Chains A and B, each alone.
Chain A
Amino acid sequence: MSPAAVATRSRLTQLDELEAESIYIMREVAAEFENPVMLYSIGKDSSVMLRLALKAFAPSKPPFPLLHVDTTWKFREMIEFRDRTAKELGLELRVHSNQDGLVQGVTPFTHGSSKYTDIMKTEALRQALSKYRFDAAFGGARRDEEKSRAKERVFSFRDAQHRWDPKNQRPELWRLYNSRIHRGESIRVFPLSNWTELDVWLYIHRERIPVVPLYFAKPRPVVERDGLLIMVDDERLPLKPGEKPRNETVRFRTLGCYPLTGAVQSTATTVPEIIEEMLACRTSERQGRAIDFDQAASMEKKKREGYF
């Protein structure tokens, strides 16, 4: 509990305003949709989003389950963190993997990062949304993350095939989010739209929100691939002849599939140190993701196809 929140304040700080806005968005969704779900990707943004959901519906539990689309290549610490969090908070967690993809043996190494992401993330998400008939799905994306997100709506409309049509998005005025859809259509909802990476960390700091330990620097076994430091999280990572993982003190700015997520060299072991490092460093956080290098304007394309 943050004591500052209990005493009445004369004015709201920007973090208070962002928090209230996100809570407002979540309540709108819970009230308007029959079957919402929260996409839980285990990263820092998901952690903040989850805390906001707890706040929005207290003293009740959030009236929707968590969904994790598991490519089976996530860091082990992420999976542990996921299961522990759901259990401690008593929340319903659904995990979905693309079984066809697994049967066909799709991995980042065999199919290339782009194809792999298509099948194991985008397609898997579509499968899960259709299977459970979710009509609204919260995602933790922020507008400051990437240029094509800057114009994204808070309520982002998807057709029955889960496609995003940038030409057919609804104007969003004030906080009046249009929740009307036909059966089969859905809305992706981004309650963190107006948060920046700095806000997310400041909020984690202020609220003492637990995050996956991978965000903090520690000696970890890594190899270098295409200029990225890839952590050898398990024995499935194919090593080249003679290649030997070396121990380096690294951490992750963003978390995904371990073979595609680059670590950064760092000594930051606390949230304030992470913030300090982040402010000093101009490179965008998404540069740690191999997938974005693969294709120009890749995000735009992925989103049209149903990616978050």
Chain B
Amino acid sequence: MHGPVPAAQRIAEFLARHEDKELLRFITCGSVDDGKSTLIGRLLFDSQKILEDQLAAVRNDSARWGTTGDATDLALLVDGLQAEREQGITIDVAYRFFDTERRKFIIADTPGHEQYTRNMATGASTADLAIILVDAERGVQVQTRRHGHIVALMGIRHAIVAVNKMDLVGYDRARFDSIRATCEELLRALGVPDVRCVPVSALRGDNVVHRSATMAWYTGAALLEILDTIDVRPTHELEDLRLPVQYVNRPDASFRGYSGTIVAGRTRRGDAVMALPSRRTSRVRSIGTYDGELEEAQAGQAVTVTLEDEIDISRGDVLVHSDRSPSVGDRFDAHLIWMADAPLLPGKQYEFKLGPRYVNGTVELIHHRIDVNDRSEHAARELKLNEIALCRVVLNEQVAFDAYDTCRSTGGFVVVDRLQHGTVGAGMIRRAASHAMAERAGNLFWQPTRVSREQRANQKGQQPCILWLTGLSGAGKSTVANALEQMLHLRGQHSYLLDGDNVRHGLNKDLDFTDAGRVENIRRIGEVAKLFVDAGLIVVTAFISPFRSDRELVRKLVNEGEFVEIHVSTPIEVCEQRDPKGLYAKARTGSIKNFTGVSSPYEAPENPELNLDTSQLSVQESVARIISYLEATGRLKN
């Protein structure tokens, strides 16, 4: 027998759900009149109503609140900025809040088009996701491109394109499809991996909170449904500990705690840790909070750790696990956004704030300025308000840092004017730079290391080269490559096999299978192969590598004769019949997209060094052909 649940209990359950919500921060980007305010008003208004409806369900008495007209309330929710606009008050980033059953949302709303870059970068810096508005009538504009570029630059990996004012184009599917295709291509090319498009009418509420019958052809989710369910956890989240020390807590001589928020990874009691930049090591004795000690703490938690040893650690140091540490150095290349009226002057001393640490330093040179509208690169001597450039930063002290794309908290910094104290710039670290690099843009030389590549090769008694196997999926590349490496090993050669497994799961796990992803995949493999050749190894690679231009690019990376292109030219009918992983079948039904040979082209080599058709040759025969080619051309001793 079960009677009605008591009201107090229902409310308790309701509260428990609300306490356990997740937080999602997003930014809205749109040009004036795209309907951004209307859309935000719609989200705030309709979601508020949902909350109330839920609450009504747990209450008996629903007559307590009246209903007001939709239109008035929508206006009320957004009129703050309008009023400010009239008063001539600077509007940069306004933060707005709303809740659903599952999540709390913080919107960074950046209105206005002056100062756009600066404001949008500010709003985007804490956002996990961007909503980019496109007016269905006007279509994709230069501004859309600009928004996409800033979104990508600031490391936002999820974009929802809201194609607004669908009512004005008669809810036309073709119009939406064409805008969607353009936006998807544009954003992916800019480096935003997750792009979704929703046709909406902010004014009428179609597909904003609820799916709309006006666009039955649209089978995707409404905007709020996406916001509510999208998984924004980073796919390649940094798992290594980063705990920047903010504050040294010393109530008395017996306790010395290091307080900070873990920005990446996790730590357990007993962990061996190292403080950077000093490299002093110790073990975690305790992880304290006001609510008690923790056995383990993870990214996002604010803790106070104590260590086993009395080592000298101060504010700004970073605690890490010693085997997985970030870069430590005094120079790096970074994208810099300039935010002050007075231009950035290379050579001038500024303060740089990285995490809790302030360090003096300079921008030593500007590699190039980037036009946000089309991403073109330009030479520059200084950087003006709202301009973006790739710069070399040189600090007066060593600091610990990561690339921004690896970890925002240890890879982002602001620039502070030393006299006026204003925040004049913001930067995203792209890579560490070494002293040895030549200091002119586009003219970087490797420092001649003491041991030469010839010496390394001589020591191994071999001629390093890349044996590049290319061909369709199922052509037999991996099988041949494996057998080949075994043979090389038996013959006492020093080799390394690069194939999909050890590359796609590690080095390139952030890449997808779009054309852009494939190009970058091959470029990186080429660079790694080149380093291995430098190290004196015979490198065997087994990748489909469908594009001629990519293979040519790798060929150019190494010296003449060091790139051996081997076309595993098994006919597609045979490959498809073998279909060892069932991929062709899936590609034919369309469940795998961009599949080489089916829905994506394969450009066969024109003049490969070798041609192997595994429908005609056994594995051993293929290997024998390669070995005899290498012997004949003097690359291997027989």
Contacts and interface: CB of A to CB of B under 8 A. Distances in A.
Interface stretch (B85-93, B590-598, B608-616): B85-93
B514 to A, nearest CB: 29
Contacts of A118: none
A31 interface: yes
B289 A58 contact: yes
B103 interface: yes
A150 B79 CA distance: 12
A150 to B, nearest CB: 4
B83 to A, nearest CB: 7
A173 B300 CA distance: 17
Contacts of A205: 15, 19
Nearest to B423: A170
Contact of B421 (A23, A59, A167, A181): A181
A141 B55 CA distance: 27
> Considering residues A2, A54, A173, which has the most beta carbons from chain B within 10 angstroms of its beta carbon?
A173
Nearest to B79: A147
Contacts of A13: 19-23
A297 B89 CA distance: 12
B92 A171 contact: yes
Contact of B104 (A28, A151, A199): A199
A305 interface: no
Interface string A42-78: 0000000000001111111100000000000000000
Contact of A151 (B94, B295, B409): B94
Interface residues of B, number: 84
B621 interface: no
A176 B412 contact: yes
A23 B301 CA distance: 10
B414 interface: yes
Contacts of A178: 353, 414, 416, 421-423
Interface in B88-142: 89-97, 99, 103-104, 106, 118-119, 121-122, 125-126
B255 A59 contact: yes
Given A13-B19, A14-B104, A17-B300, A281 B93 contact: no
Interface in A22-47: 23-24, 27-28, 30-31
B51 A279 contact: yes
Interface string B1-36: 000000010011001001111110000000000000
Contact of B422 (A11, A166, A170): A170
A272 B80 contact: no
B440 interface: no
Contact of A202 (B8, B19, B92): B19
B65 interface: yes
Given A58-B304, A150-B94, A202-B18, A31 B422 contact: no
B360 interface: no
A143 B247 contact: no
B383 interface: no
Nearest to A60: B251
A58 B246 contact: no
A249 interface: no
Nearest to B263: A175
A83 interface: no
Contacts of A57: 247, 249, 259
A198 B119 CA distance: 28
A20 B300 contact: yes
A16 interface: yes
B84 interface: yes
A13 B87 CA distance: 39
B290 interface: yes
Interface in B291-310: 291-298, 300-302, 304
A275 to B, nearest CB: 6
A180 B251 contact: no
Contacts of A300: 87, 89
Contact of B413 (A61, A170, A176, A182): A176
B378 interface: no
Contacts of A295: none
> Considering residues A14, A61, A182, which has the most beta carbons from chain B within 10 angstroms of its beta carbon?
A14
A31 B23 CA distance: 28
Nearest to A11: B22
B192 interface: no
B246 A24 contact: yes
B302 A56 contact: yes
Given A8-B298, A178-B416, A272-B15, A280 B104 contact: no
Interface in B268-316: 288-298, 300-302, 304, 315
A297 B91 CA distance: 15
Contact of A148 (B80, B259, B292, B304): B80
Contact of B97 (A16, A24, A59, A196): A196
B321 to A, nearest CB: 17
B291 A56 contact: no
A148 B84 contact: yes
A61 B55 CA distance: 40
B99 A198 contact: yes
A300 B103 CA distance: 31
B246 A198 contact: no
Contact of B409 (A19, A31, A174): A174
B292 A14 contact: no
Contacts of A92: none
Interface in A187-213: 193-194, 196, 198-199, 202, 205-206
A172 interface: yes
Contacts of B623: none
A281 B65 contact: yes
Contacts of A86: none
A173 to B, nearest CB: 4
Nearest to B8: A272
A6 B122 contact: no
B261 interface: yes
B412 A30 contact: no
B351 A180 contact: yes
A291 interface: no
A308 B575 CA distance: 72
B251 A171 contact: no
A176 B291 CA distance: 27
B210 interface: no
B118 A171 contact: yes
Contact of A206 (B19, B81, B122, B355): B19
Contacts of B59: 276, 280
Contacts of B205: none
B64 interface: yes
Nearest to B66: A282
Given A176-B413, A279-B55, A19 B302 contact: yes
A160 interface: no
B103 A16 contact: no
A181 B408 CA distance: 26
A12 interface: yes
A62 to B, nearest CB: 11
A56 B92 contact: no
Contacts of B125: 173-174
Given A13-B20, A176-B413, A280-B64, A20 B301 contact: yes
Contacts of A194: 95, 97, 106
Interface of A: 1-2, 5-6, 8-9, 11-20, 23-24, 27-28, 30-31, 54-61, 143-144, 147-148, 150-151, 166-167, 169-176, 178, 180-182, 193-194, 196, 198-199, 202, 205-206, 272-273, 275-276, 279-282, 297, 300
Given A14-B103, A59-B304, A194-B106, 11 more contacts: A1-B292, A17-B300, A54-B290, A60-B251, A147-B81, A150-B94, A166-B89, A173-B122, A176-B355, A178-B353, A196-B97
30 contacts: A1-B291, A5-B289, A6-B293, A23-B302, A31-B356, A58-B304, A59-B288, A60-B249, A144-B97, A147-B81, A148-B80, A151-B95, A171-B118, A173-B121, A173-B423, A173-B426, A178-B353, A178-B422, A182-B421, A194-B95, A196-B104, A198-B99, A202-B19, A205-B15, A206-B19, A272-B12, A272-B15, A276-B11, A279-B52, A282-B65
